[in-house]
Amino acid sequence: MNRRDPSTRNLIAAAVVVTAVAAVLELLVRRDPDASLLVALTFFTMIVQGCVALVATAELAKGIWFIPIKRELLGVYPLLLVSAALSLALGAKTGIYPWSEHQNGWLNTGFFVIRNFVVLVASYLGAHKLAGAIRTQSPNKNRWAGLYIALYIVSQSFIAFDWIMTLEYPWVSTLLGGFFFVESVLMALAVAAFVLFFRMRTAGHGLTETLRDTAKMMFGFSVMWVGFFFAQFLVIWYGNIPEEVGFVLTRFNEPPWAGLSRAVLFLVWVIPFAVLLSRPLKTVPAAMAAVAGLILSGLFIEKLVLVLPAAKVSPGALAFETLLLLGLLAFFLASADRLLPQQVAGTETEAARRHS
């Protein structure tokens, strides 16, 4: 990443402006504790971390399917700094958490903010090193990929346990961290399908095999997502312990959460499962973009279902901040060639050769 390049400076400026606007909005304009930023930031951070994790995993597995979209997926890694900066703003919103009135050694505002900030910055540094190693084709790139994946797992677990689960403190689910990082990879695959959709509109059908592979991965992770969901649901349902089952009852039996929970299941698993079974549809960019859109919408609604029964949000602020962050993500995805130029692009030839 060349900071002197004007287009790179535009990217940095956009990231700074978006961070500043969201922070000012949350810290100065809307001072009441609500969960709008939490929902938007969780969704955004999961997508960004998932994109880099997908690249790191594929690098480790010596995958070739992802090479044509590697630049786009890896190019979003600087946005982890935006997540880290905005996580500081969550410190002013800890009033949404039930533990805020009875703070303890682990759950207190200062430590809550610092540990999440440190983990997100560490995850950025890991991603930065990985991007550098891939750019220079360093022999250490697998080591950085492994380190990033470890940081990714820790960071996603913190997002799940700290940011989301403590909204319902003392409700606990030990699987929520794993559920979040599987979900994050599914989000990244959906983003990859979108990237391919836009690239195939201009680049013809040279990316058909990559699209097919992405669709297969989406299918697999969609099934894995529902498996993780059911693994959590079944033990809570079987145990029927009052302190656990309340969380599920609220979200599955009470309107409007009951309807939304079922919608999530349809959007993230039932419909993608039915569509992605079809072999020909896996190579139709518009169909895959539609499935990716359904998955991302479903996972956004899922965040609302997880958060809203426990904390209020302002619909206007939520929509504004989500669109702001997703706009920034789209800007970075569209500018990937500025961030990771020739060296990564050069490997596309290799992918094309092997696919042919």
Partner 1 sequence: MIDRYAYDTREEFLGKLKELVESGVPKRSINTFTPYAVHEAEELLDHSQSPVRFFTGAGAVTGCIAGFAFTIYTVLSWPLVTGGKEVVSVNAFIVIAYELTILFGGLTAFVGFLHLSRLPVFKNVLSDRAEFSRKFEIAVDRGGRK
Q: Which residues bind partner 1 (CB under 8 A)?
A: 230, 233-234, 237-238, 240, 279
Q: Which of 16, 31, 14, 11 is nearest to 317 (CA)?
A: 31
What per-residue string of b and e applies to 291-311 under the rule 16 or more CB within 10 Å gives b? bbebbbebbbbbbbbbbbbbb
C-alpha to C-alpha distance for 177 and 214, rounded to whole angstroms: 24
Cis amide prior to 256 (ω within 30 degrees): yes
Reading the block at residue 288, the tokens are 């895959």
Q: Which is closer to partner 1, CB of 62 or CB of 279?
A: 279
Choose between 4 and 353: whose C-beta lies nearer to partner 1: 353
Backbone φ and ψ of 279, nearest 5°: -70, -50
How far apart, in whole angstroms, are the C-alpha atoms of residue 60 and residue 228? 24
- Shortest separation between residue 166's beta carbon and partner 1, angstroms: 27
Q: Which is nearer to partner 1, 17 or 234 (CB)?
A: 234
Shortest CB 336 distance to partner 1, Å = 30
Give 239 or 259: the residue with its C-beta nearer to partner 1.
Answer: 239
Nearer to partner 1, 20 or 277 (CB): 277
Rank residues 233 and 320 by Cβ distance to partner 1 and give the closer one.
Answer: 233
- Helix boundaries (H) for the chain: 6-24, 36-60, 70-74, 79-89, 109-135, 141-158, 176-203, 208-239, 242-253, 257-265, 271-276, 285-307, 315-334, 336-339, 342-355
Closer to partner 1 by Cβ: residue 12 or 241: 241
Neighbours of 188 (CB within 10 A): 27
d(CA 228, CA 182): 8
**Cα separation of 152 and 172, whole Å?**
21
Q: For partner 1, which is the closer residue by CB, 8 or 208?
A: 208
CB of 234 to partner 1, least distance (A): 6
Compute the radius of gyration of the chain from its Cα atoms. Answer: 20
Q: How far is the CB of 126 from partner 1 (least distance, A)?
A: 35
Q: Which residues contact 202 (CB under 8 A, 6 or more apart)?
A: none
Question: Which one, of 80, 74, 210, 75, lies nearest residue 145 by Cα?
Answer: 74
Least Cβ distance, residue 170 to partner 1 (angstroms): 22
Shortest distance in whole angstroms from residue 299 CB to partner 1: 22
Shortest Å distance, C-beta 279 to partner 1: 7
Query: C-beta of 322: minimal distance to partner 1 in Å?
Result: 33
